[in-house]
């Protein structure tokens, strides 16, 4: 009988709980590469092997090995780091990586350009800052995102605490990470058993695919709850979370030309009590572990399990494993997926203290670096050195300078100003923009993204000016391929790379993150994108109803049909 399982299943099975030959590969100084199977296993340790695609052709001509280096992704549930940790992370960027910190769309940092001989040292430096990269990638529960900023209110603190609890509970228990990277060193958290041979939750095959958990506190849907495998929506009464609506089956990734793959917004599974959430998370994960598709990786995400089995069957199985029924989802309202930029005061305060301040700072595509006249990295380092605040990474690739005492507000503003950093952004479009990393590091990129979106927005700002829309909040997101790392199918304007310089243009997603977009134009370059969008901006400015968002307008005005479910994403497409 032939083994129909995906190749990764066999790699995991033979890996001795994610060890593979990683330790030996790190010691091999002849190459910057590691063994083929270890390319898959290293992901579970929070790293990817990559090569600099800008120099790939040139090196091939010279018969040189690719310019290999590693990307490292941290696990920071809720995205919160202390000033001390910030300084450590900043130092690592210079000592071992490419001199930049990259905020991701999932509330954490990535380093790029770490060479093999520095990998262990980098991991150890991260560990010394009481942080790690365990399970930041791979077929496991990834970094848990929570509504940005635990300092905002009691409900946000509760969401953050749940995020940390789920992250710890669903962490792989293998000792491989500590053996390979930390030389058996003990980690800060003594409850984690280095050397444990078992994976009680995951077994030796782990999950069929990546698994993503998020927690939202309405009315903000900053975590884009419907884009994720598992979500908890806080139900808040008198300022406190009393329970959670549970969502399952969201996801973005698809393959161009394969209608069997599609982005999908999550369904409501039910409602659980405050203290039941970790148990619910575990049971949802185990149903996906047992029911998920292990033959076809493009169809292995939880969204397809829910799609294929149906939400009712999925709920029944979760309830069977829980031993109790979930309640009916409770009412809630979301208003938007963006980060409210600028200063925002916490909604409550500790007894006897003033309410703290929090500054959400726009970071273009999450890249924290210094450039002439705009030394963001230095400004943030100085703020951390002075201990003026904590730092929270947001799911919109921004950073919040959080828990700021009134007396430090002016100091923060002065430090930013001294380094050319403005609190305001040039337009509502830019303030609501995200681009994935893409070239030159991403091995899957088909077109530029992070390096192209800023200039496209600058050009689109002229079109917005013609329509008088410069300050309007319109969500635009770009990715270099259809995997959807910047959640482009939930943007009012989504651009997805097809070929160098060419993108598919999607319109019609809801501003609050509840509805997917629809393909509007295929294979369009910069000039065509502008030519297509400018008249829509002008018409929107003239004809919109009070409070109507751009995405809703593009449907009402007939540019695209509304996508009511993921399996309708490819239907009713009429190209411009």
Distance CA 73, CA 50 (A): 13
Q: Verify binding: residue 444, ligand SF4, rule CB under 6 A.
A: yes
Q: Verify binding: residue 563, ligand SRM, rule CB under 6 A.
A: no
Out of ligand SF4, ligand SRM, none, what residue 480 binds, judged by CB under 5 to 8 A for its kind, is ligand SF4
- Least distance from ligand SF4 to the Cβ atom of residue 10, Å: 24
Q: Is 261 left (phi over 0), alpha (psi -120 to 50) or beta?
A: beta
Out of ligand SF4, ligand SRM, none, what residue 252 binds, judged by CB under 5 to 8 A for its kind, is ligand SRM
Name residues contacting ligand SRM, limited to 292-311 (CB under 6 A): 301
> 379 Cβ partners below 8 Å, 6+ apart?
415, 416, 418, 419, 421
* Cα dist from 164 to 77, 80, 178, 214, 358, whole Å: 6, 10, 20, 11, 21
Mark residues 473-512: x for contact with ligand SF4 by CB under 6 A, - for none: ------xxx-xxx---------------------------
Q: Of the two residues 67 and 384, which places its CB atom closer to ligand SF4 in the complex?
A: 67
Q: Is 481 a catalytic residue?
A: yes
Phi, psi of 81 (to 5 degrees): -130, 150
Instruction: Write down the catalytic residue from 43, 212, 377, 518.
Output: 212
Among 110, 146, 265, 396, binds ligand SRM (CB under 6 A): 110
- Say if residue 7 is exposed, middle or buried (CB neighbours under 10 Å; 0-12, 13-18, 19+): exposed
Distance CA 17, CA 420 (A): 48
Structure tokens at 203: 């077994």
Q: Verify binding: residue 381, ligand SRM, rule CB under 6 A.
A: no
- Least distance from ligand SRM to the Cβ atom of residue 43, Å: 8
Mark residues 14-53: x for contact with ligand SRM by CB under 6 A, - for none: ----------------------------------x-x---
Q: Is 229 a catalytic residue?
A: no
> 457 Cβ partners below 8 Å, 6+ apart?
427, 429, 430, 433, 476
Among 119, 302, 368, 442, binds ligand SF4 (CB under 6 A): 442
Q: Is 528 a catalytic residue?
A: no
- Least distance from ligand SF4 to the Cβ atom of residue 54, Å: 14
Q: Give the 3-state DSSP-derived string for 547-571, with helices as H, strands as E and coil as C.
A: CCCHHHHHHHCCCCCCECCHHHCCC
- Least distance from ligand SF4 to the Cβ atom of residue 174, Å: 26
Name residues contacting ligand SRM, limited to 320-379 (CB under 6 A): 366
Q: Is 272 a catalytic residue?
A: no
> 190 Cβ partners below 8 Å, 6+ apart?
none
Reference 244, options 252, 229, 234, 254; nearest CA is 234
Q: For residue 575, count other CB atoms closer than 10 A to its CB.
A: 11
Q: Verify binding: residue 50, ligand SF4, rule CB under 6 A.
A: no
Binding segment (CB under 6 A) for ligand SRM, from list 172-180, 249-257, 323-331, 550-558: 249-257
- Least distance from ligand SRM to the Cβ atom of residue 103, Å: 7
Q: Verify binding: residue 265, ligand SRM, rule CB under 6 A.
A: no
- Least distance from ligand SF4 to the Cβ atom of residue 383, Å: 29
CA atoms within 13 A on the CB side of 319: 15
Among 167, 174, 394, 438, binds ligand SF4 (CB under 6 A): 438
Q: Which long-range contacts (CB under 8 A, 24 or more apart) does 204-207 make?
A: 204/12, 204/13, 204/17, 205/9, 205/12, 205/13, 205/294, 206/12, 206/44, 206/138, 206/139, 206/140, 206/172, 206/289, 207/139, 207/140, 207/141, 207/285, 207/288, 207/289, 207/292
Instruction: Write down the catalytic residue from 289, 301, 436, 487.
Output: 436
Q: Is 436 a catalytic residue?
A: yes
- Least distance from ligand SRM to the Cβ atom of residue 438, Å: 7
What are the residue numbers of the active site?
Answer: 73, 142, 210, 212, 436, 442, 481, 485
Residues that bind ligand SRM (CB under 6 A): 48, 50, 71, 73, 104-106, 108, 110, 142-143, 212, 227, 251-253, 301, 366, 436-437, 441-444, 483-487
């Amino acid at each position: 009988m032939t083994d129909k399982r995906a190749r990764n299943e066999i790699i995991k099975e033979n890996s001795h709980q994610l060890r593979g030959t990683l330790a030996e590969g790190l010691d091999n100084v002849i190459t910057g590469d590691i063994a083929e199977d270890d390319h898959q296993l290293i992901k579970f340790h929070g790293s990817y092997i990559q090569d600099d695609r800008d120099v790939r052709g040139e090196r091939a001509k010279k018969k040189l090995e690719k310019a290999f280096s590693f990307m490292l992704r941290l696990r920071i549930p809720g995205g919160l780091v202390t000033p001390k940790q910030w300084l450590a992370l900043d130092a690592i960027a210079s000592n071992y990586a490419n001199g930049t910190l990259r905020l991701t769309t999932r509330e954490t940092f990535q380093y790029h350009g770490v060479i093999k001989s520095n990998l262990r040292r980098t991991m150890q430096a991260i560990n010394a800052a009481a942080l790690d990269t365990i399970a930041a990638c791979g077929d496991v529960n990834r970094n848990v995102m929570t509504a940005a900023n635990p300092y905002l209110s009691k409900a946000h603190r509760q969401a953050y605490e749940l995020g940390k609890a789920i992250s710890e509970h669903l962490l792989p228990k293998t000792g491989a990470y500590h053996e390979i990277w930390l030389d058996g060193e003990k980690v800060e958290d003594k409850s984690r058993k280095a050397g444990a041979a078992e994976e009680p939750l995951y077994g030796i095959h782990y999950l069929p695919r990546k698994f993503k958990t998020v927690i939202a506190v309405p009315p903000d849907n900053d975590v884009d709850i419907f884009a994720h495998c598992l979500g908890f929506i806080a139900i808040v009464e008198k300022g406190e979370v009393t329970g959670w609506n549970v969502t399952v089956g969201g996801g973005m990734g698809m393959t161009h030309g394969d209608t069997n793959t599609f982005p999908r917004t999550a369904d409501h599974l039910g409602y659980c009590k405050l203290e039941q959430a970790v148990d619910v998370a575990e049971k949802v994960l185990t149903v996906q572990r047992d029911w998920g598709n292990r033959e076809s990786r493009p169809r292995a995400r939880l969204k397809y399990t829910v799609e294929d089995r149906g939400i009712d069957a999925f709920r029944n199985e979760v309830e069977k494993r829980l031993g109790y029924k979930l309640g009916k989802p409770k009412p809630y309202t979301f208003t938007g997926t963006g980060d409210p930029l600028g200063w925002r005061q916490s909604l409550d305060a500790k007894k006897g203290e003033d309410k703290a301040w929090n500054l959400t700072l726009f970071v273009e595509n999450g890249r924290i670096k210094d450039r002439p006249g705009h030394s963001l990295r230095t400004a943030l380092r100085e703020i951390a050195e002075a201990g003026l605040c904590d730092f929270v990474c947001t799911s919109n690739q921004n950073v919040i300078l959080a828990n700021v005492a009134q007396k430090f507000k002016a100091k923060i503003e002065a430090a930013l100003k001294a380094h050319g950093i403005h609190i305001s952004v040039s337009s509502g479009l830019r303030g609501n923009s995200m681009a994935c990393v893409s070239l030159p590091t991403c091995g899957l990129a088909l077109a530029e993204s992070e390096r192209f979106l800023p200039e496209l927005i600058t050009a689109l700002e002229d079109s917005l000016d013609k329509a008088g829309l410069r300050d309007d909040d319109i969500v635009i997101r770009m990715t270099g391929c259809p995997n959807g790392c910047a959640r482009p199918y939930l943007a009012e304007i989504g651009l997805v790379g097809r070929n160098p310089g060419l993108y598919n243009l999607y319109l019609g997603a809801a501003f609050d993150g509840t509805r997917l977009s629809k393909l509007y134009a295929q294979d369009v370059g910069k000039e065509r994108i502008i030519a297509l969008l400018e008249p829509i901006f002008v018409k929107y400015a003239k004809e919109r109803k009070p409070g109507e968002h751009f995405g809703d307008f593009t449907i009402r005005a007939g540019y695209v049909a509304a996508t009511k479910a993921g399996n309708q994403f490819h239907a009713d497409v009429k190209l411009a």
